[in-house]
Structure 1
């Protein structure tokens, strides 16, 4: 994989809205501004807001080509060192026909987001660029009161250092959802629950391979399209998957996993790391489905780690695509063996 250059204080990062245009809505602008201020004050970065990023829900939805134009301009701009997605959504796949693939390959940048942004990550991956399944502006950088230290530390280790990332523990706590993004709530800290840590739900042992994955619902939606990874991409991989705030019914969840099994994905991988379901919804049910479908696929030998702190969880860590990683279900550890960026 082609790695982008590391960030340094003073660098410029671009803000884009490649999925939902929520960041531009009048009642959300305070939160957008708060996220931008955190990028500046905590990390010493300069934020360039791309021309269409804050034009609101209707405009952003109706103009996928303008969303892609913002991405293309950020890729071509040599002063821009990273691209930050404002938030996810549900139809960023519509921008992909308009993306300048030459600019993508010739100007590798740090690129971050999660959820619907999985489609963008897989597009980058197909073109050989390593990206970060990680924080978005409205959710993580704009967290009420202050950013979580766990997320800040992950950003510093992943984007600001060319050293191997090393072991990634789970977050010490889990933020509760349900506090609306109203300006009158901005000074209210979201409640926290203790995080019990990783859980092994597969075979005992280690699995090593390159990282590929994202949001399960987006994976399902991309199946059969030109944007879904070919099966060779899963050979000897560590698959990372999580689910969104839609709280998939366990029966539908099972259908999605079984489809991946029938495609032959589980035959090829060396291990799986699974993000905690948001709010712990269907925690036990999803765990049982994973075990049942893997047993059907005769992959009881596969090391599988559950309850990881990425995706639809705050605080969250960053999972960089294409990097070599190891899961160890005996010691309940997850380690990324190389750097996500270069000097």
Structure 2
């Protein structure tokens, strides 16, 4: 069968307006200073003008109010893209209140990750591509400057289009300073040297439209009955990542195994897996050897399950997208190519 087809989302130009919304958690309310630094940096990096909505800074906003902001941002022809401030844990309840006809009739780039997997999935089912990644509160506001790979993919998603080979920046942090700590404005978190990506499956090249996101959210999407049909995932590239809640390798194994039993794994041509966080802000950081062991355990569990259900799938594990920094923003519904022979990942930002 032919892969699912997608609309083309027009690119913005410097001086255009973009929506900055909080369809899950209103992170700006925790640190307005950090949020305002993110807004300045967004304009400096892209020339785009951020426009906030009623719930962007509003903690505890209802699902209906947040959905209204999503609908309004897509409905406004002067808004050329929509950016989420961060993820959260209840966007599943927002989705039923969004006017899907408005989103389908007004395709434009949406950027976000984590709990925003819900909105990405909604857009995907409507044939509207988006971009997985790009939290203003995590990747634009904190630290002494923006990471190069984040700026390159941010501009590609919003302005420039084109294709980029995804590369390893060589360092990574699971989290930064707490947002209410002044150091969050000027310092990165604890960064460590990264390891090479791991490849599995056959030494061949595959490409296709991407679908996926945070696997803990995919679990909720599946239970809610909102998953794509397997036929629409034929030849796709499945993207998987885990959150700062650091699920165990056994939990990840069960989720991926369930995707196998559902038929999702046998449908896709390849699987792209993010470097997972293995420490969190509220617990002691495990020693380096333990962090490496935790990442390896998750990697091995995913490769084992994917190859069990689809030995022809090309697999790449360790790419910095999702819950990590530096972070690539990657196409969701757009095309990613996995070249297992030459160990190259290429992302197409034209959509």
Q: Would you call these one fold, judging by a TM-score over 0.5? A: yes
* 2:297 counterpart SS class: helix
Q: Secondary structure at the match of 1:177?
A: coil
- 8 Å Cα contact 2:7-2:128 kept in structure 1: yes
Query: Displacement, 1:237?
Result: 0.8
Superposed displacement of residue 235, structure 1: 0.6
Q: Which one is further off, 254-263 or 221-230?
A: 221-230
Cα offset for 1:271? Answer: 0.9
Matched with 1:169 is: 167
User: Cα distance 1:34–1:340, how it changes in 2: closer, same or farther (>3 A)?
Assistant: same
Partner of residue 33 from structure 1, selected from 33, 36, 53: 36
Q: Distance in 1 between matches of 2:196 and 2:12?
A: 30
Q: Which runs of 5+ in 1 are unaligned?
A: none
Aligned to 2:182: 184
The equivalent residue for 1:10 is 15
Between 184-193 and 145-154, report the one with greater CA deviation. Answer: 184-193
Task: Tell whether the 8 Å contact from 1:133 to 1:321 is kept in structure 2 after alignment.
Answer: yes
Asked if 1 retains the 8 angstrom alpha-carbon contact of 2:248 and 2:298, the reply is: no
Number of matched pairs? 332
**Alpha-carbon distance in 2 for matches of 1:184, 1:167:** 35
Structure 1's 330 and 84: CA in aligned 2 closer, same or farther, altered over 3 A?
same
**Structure 2 CA distance for partners of 1:197 and 1:295, relative to 1, 3 Å:** closer
Residues in 1 aligned to 2:148 and 2:207: alpha-carbon distance in whole angstroms: 28
Maintained 8 Å contact 1:132/1:318: yes
How big is the shift at 1:113?
A: 0.3
Q: Give yes or no for the alignment of 1:284 onto 2:289.
A: no
- Does the 8 Å CA contact 2:205/2:337 hold for their aligned counterparts? yes
Q: List aligned pairs for 1:87-98, cutoff 5 A.
A: 87-98=86-97
Gap change, CA 1:48 and 1:273, over 3 Å in 2: same
- Answer yes or no: is 1:308 the counterpart of 2:303: no
Q: Superposition pairs for residues 198-217 of structure 1, below 5 Å? A: 198-217=197-216
TM-score (norm 2): 0.90
CA contact (8 A) 1:130 1:340 kept: no
Q: CA deviation at 1:295?
A: 4.0
Counterpart of 2:283 in structure 1 is none
Cα distance per residue 1:130-171 (max 9 Å; x no partner): 0010111100111211111110011122321243x1322223
Distance 2:262 2:215 in 1: 15
Q: CA RMSD in A?
A: 1.7
Q: 1:322 to 1:184 in 2, by over 3 A?
A: closer
* CA displacement, residues 208-263 of structure 1 (integer Å, 9 cap, x when unaligned): 22211111111111114242111112211111111111111221111111111100
2:336 and 2:98 map into 1 onto residues whose CA distance is: 29
Q: Secondary structure at the match of 1:33?
A: helix
SS at match of 1:78: coil
1:132 equivalent in structure 2: 131
Give the structure-1-normalised TM-score: 0.92
- 1:247-258 to 2 correspondence within 5 Å? 247-258=246-257
Query: Which residue, out of 306, 312, 328, partners 1:317?
Result: 328
Which blocks of at least 5 consecutive residues in structure 2 are unaligned? 1-5, 279-290
Separation of aligned partners in 2, 1:206 and 1:76:
39
Change (3 A) 1:321 1:24: same
The answer as to 2:58 corresponding to 1:55 is: yes
Q: 1:327 and 2:325 equivalent?
A: no
Q: What is the CA–CA distance in structure 2 between the aligned matches of 1:188 and 1:246, rounded to whole Å?
A: 23
User: How much does 1:192 deviate?
Assistant: 2.6
Aligned residue number for residue 3 of structure 2: none
Contact 2:18 2:83 in 1 (8 A): yes
Offset of 1:176 from its aligned partner?
4.7
Given that 1:35 and 1:138 are in contact with CA atoms closer than 8 Å, whether structure 2 keeps it comes out as yes
Shift of 1:79: 1.0
Provide, for residues 29-88 of structure 1, a one-character-per-residue CA deviation record: whole Å limited to 9, x for no partner.
Answer: 1111111111122211111110121112xx22xx10000111111111111111110110
